[in-house]
Structure 1
């Protein structure tokens, strides 16, 4: 083979098989949430554990470092060099984590998710505590395996979702949002609230509208599907990217904006340049969240999009309580101190993330234990939001993440908000007529811009550098604060 080291094709084939196994794991996880009968829980936990052990063995295959040692990276493309780096990174993590721990963690995640759903429905945190304790124990053990001596255990978990990030560096960035958000919230507090959307909205009409919106902004239903679940998520990549949403017949905006959020993830996943090789995968969860938050907020909650969405809602539901696009725009951006993160307005959203970031760091380092989490949550929610949590389904049980062992994930949501505002500012410079395309939901130029700047770049660059190259500026919180001040200043006549 001219100019190409022989071990490279073997390594790439191995990486593809590993990715295919991970995709199977994603499918059975999706099935557990969307389709699986309740009595399948014990079998699914066993299946998940066995599959995790196989994937762990693939990542830690001793042939990986042997192949890498024989490859000369100089003549390779940037993508193949990055594939080698990602293979080494996965090998290093896998060889530090015992196979037994990988299997137990996968089983605990599957079992924990089911117990969480039942506890949430019953509004009973005590039902969930045993599963939560098990997940925390396993994550502490995993962090201890991965962390260098004397370093923050939480950082080793954060690195899985935001490679290279450190909590000590993220905290000042995220905390820099707090003064501006609190000040903006206080200025809005004395203003009249816009009229909320009220009425009854049939489930089938909501789902039909959600599909219309998803397709219009670029989601390819030939490469995906939409289903309803307790907690919306997106799963898969390439030719099989599945999204989920949830339906409340008193609140169609929940379904609509959950769908748009997950479509943002899906567009990134459908735009990956290769469905198997790690260099072509998403850059980081912060970048992934930037795509979902951008479509949900900068596009979906914009005044221009309300012009298109309002008649679509009238066609789907008939006459409803809002008088026109201006009223819809105000309603979808209504600022109120609610309990649920996924329903939070843009002013409050990052305050929800800061609370979770704080709590999960304490859970991992041992400063907080599972049985004390509900009390700690309620105390800190009252501190940050000035309201008492009425029941755990509106508090500590609202998010699925800790039930499936996703410790280290939450701060990526706020990173996503920061990155999305940076991308929004740069896109508006490049596309001064963007609002005109949004007003008719002809959003292909927007998707093309994101494909060129973000999607096709895969993991070639670290997340901060990717955003800097896409926007011409190093990422900071200022574009997000400026965007919020401008948007809500106009809405609330500040």
Structure 2
């Protein structure tokens, strides 16, 4: 028990330092002055050096060799620490610190390039990031992770146990039904009307706060700020969210907020006994995305909840040109082949992910050069969406992920949608009167069920296992595709 207690105490300090590093990232994206970017890169590199030294400290190996867990949760914690220890041991300290430094600076360079639609300004930095992440993937693959595949070794950090081949198979089964549904909807005689008014920033932010509260965000342990790319940061008792505002598209603000609240309430809802332990965070990014996507889509874009949102928007903005709650439900769920992933409707969203998944696998394997990425992106987008990319900010510069080295992250969005489809099916069976509450702007019956069945467990169970425990069946893509076809065929009167 002494070895176990010593290891847990050491791990608690490591987790606390990691939270500090995360807070530096939050600050950089929200309130840090632009002139601090390079200094912040040095700071991030320094703290990553400290973290890497702790995560590879020989004492961790010694403690793991003798520690005895007092219970199943303790054993799971030991397993997760051992896995992380093996992964971190594969990565040289120099590489860990350099990656943290470069990706911190790269965020600012990406934001500048995006603002100027200047791909050339970003390419040298992206080359550097890709080289660093490829080196890390190679080191992890050599250490036995990802079955020896560079991309799979990186993917394993975000969705343990997943493989590129397995995800490609899921996407291969999803694509035909998604493409067929999209064709039917875009060819329908009836189509919802788009918004055509301006919506003030102050009104949007006030309503965004109301939405966060409706979905259970604990304001005593969080805050809402603006960022170029919305995100959630932190865990336990300090979980912060961001959103963005477009006066012509309030849904961008509202549904980005709800999406990030899904991430945040997952973290806030984990059993407090797991705070600052390996169990005290979401178990994978796929499971994390299942929470953000079910909050945003199956709940937030439902007929019942949009009826409440319609009334709140009328109170806040007055008459904005949509006749009634039913027409508004259609407007919220309007299907169109837009450029931006974060603004994509539910039918198109996974097609955006499939494209990024294929491109980043090619980047990591070396089959695609960074210099050729823009052309590859634009060609693939035109083939998949039937629209030519009009500007780089609507193309390969739109997402922050690659600038910060998150290769292997993108497919977890689609996995999250698959998990969310399964969870929604189980939720509807467990809470048959859910729509009555949603129509009052009350998501508590849904969020309470999700917390009890999934969120409170944190990292206690493996990704697919925690979803299966919540649903009562193994996850697969069928419930998501069935939900999409039923919902959108009704909206488009097919």
- TM over 0.5, yes or no? yes
Q: Which portions of structure 1, spanning 4 or more consecutive aligned residues, are displaced by more than 6 angstroms?
A: none
Q: Which moved more, 1:312-321 or 1:346-355?
A: 312-321
- Describe the superposition over 1:11-50 as per-residue Cα deviations: whole angstroms up to 9, x where unpaired: 1111111111110111000100100001001110000000
Q: Does structure 1 residue 20 correspond to structure 2 residue 22?
A: no
**Which structure 1 segments of 5+ residues have no match?**
none
Q: Does structure 1 residue 389 correspond to structure 2 residue 385?
A: no
Aligned equivalent of 1:174: 171
> For the aligned residues, what is the CA RMSD?
1.0
Superposition deviation, residue 323 in structure 1 = 1.4
Pick the aligned partner of 2:187 from 179, 186, 190: 190
Superposition deviation, residue 466 in structure 1 = 1.3
Pick the aligned partner of 2:162 from 161, 165, 171: 165
8 Å CA contact 2:235–2:280 kept in 1: the answer is: no
- Describe the superposition over 1:33-85 as per-residue Cα deviations: whole angstroms up to 9, x where unpaired: 10000100111000000011111111111101111111234xx2221111111
Aligned equivalent of 2:55: 59
8 Å CA contact 1:80–1:279 kept in 2: the answer is: no
- Describe the superposition over 1:133-167 as per-residue Cα deviations: whole angstroms up to 9, x where unpaired: 01000001000110047721101100110011111
The TM-score with structure 2 as length reference comes to 0.97
Instruction: Give the total of aligned pairs.
Output: 488
Aligned equivalent of 1:45: 41
- Describe the superposition over 1:241-286 as per-residue Cα deviations: whole angstroms up to 9, x where unpaired: 1000000011111100100100110110111223310123211100
The TM-score with structure 1 as length reference comes to 0.97
**Which structure 2 segments of 5+ residues have no match?**
none
Counterparts of 2:180 and 2:171, CA distance in 1 = 16
Secondary structure (helix, strand or coil) at the match of 1:236 reads strand
Superposition deviation, residue 193 in structure 1 = 2.2
Aligned equivalent of 1:85: 79
Counterparts of 1:105 and 1:336, CA distance in 2 = 38
8 Å CA contact 1:120–1:393 kept in 2: the answer is: yes
Aligned equivalent of 1:342: 342
Q: Does structure 1 residue 122 correspond to structure 2 residue 116?
A: yes
- Within 5 Å, give how 1:4-403 maps onto structure 2: 5-73=1-69, 76-148=70-142, 151-191=148-188, 192-273=190-271, 274-403=274-403
Q: Which moved more, 1:24-33 or 1:435-444?
A: 435-444
8 Å CA contact 1:280–1:456 kept in 2: the answer is: no
Counterparts of 1:388 and 1:488, CA distance in 2 = 25
Counterparts of 2:442 and 2:378, CA distance in 1 = 44
Counterparts of 1:35 and 1:175, CA distance in 2 = 42
Q: Does structure 1 residue 405 correspond to structure 2 residue 401?
A: no
Counterparts of 1:280 and 1:361, CA distance in 2 = 30
8 Å CA contact 2:134–2:150 kept in 1: the answer is: yes
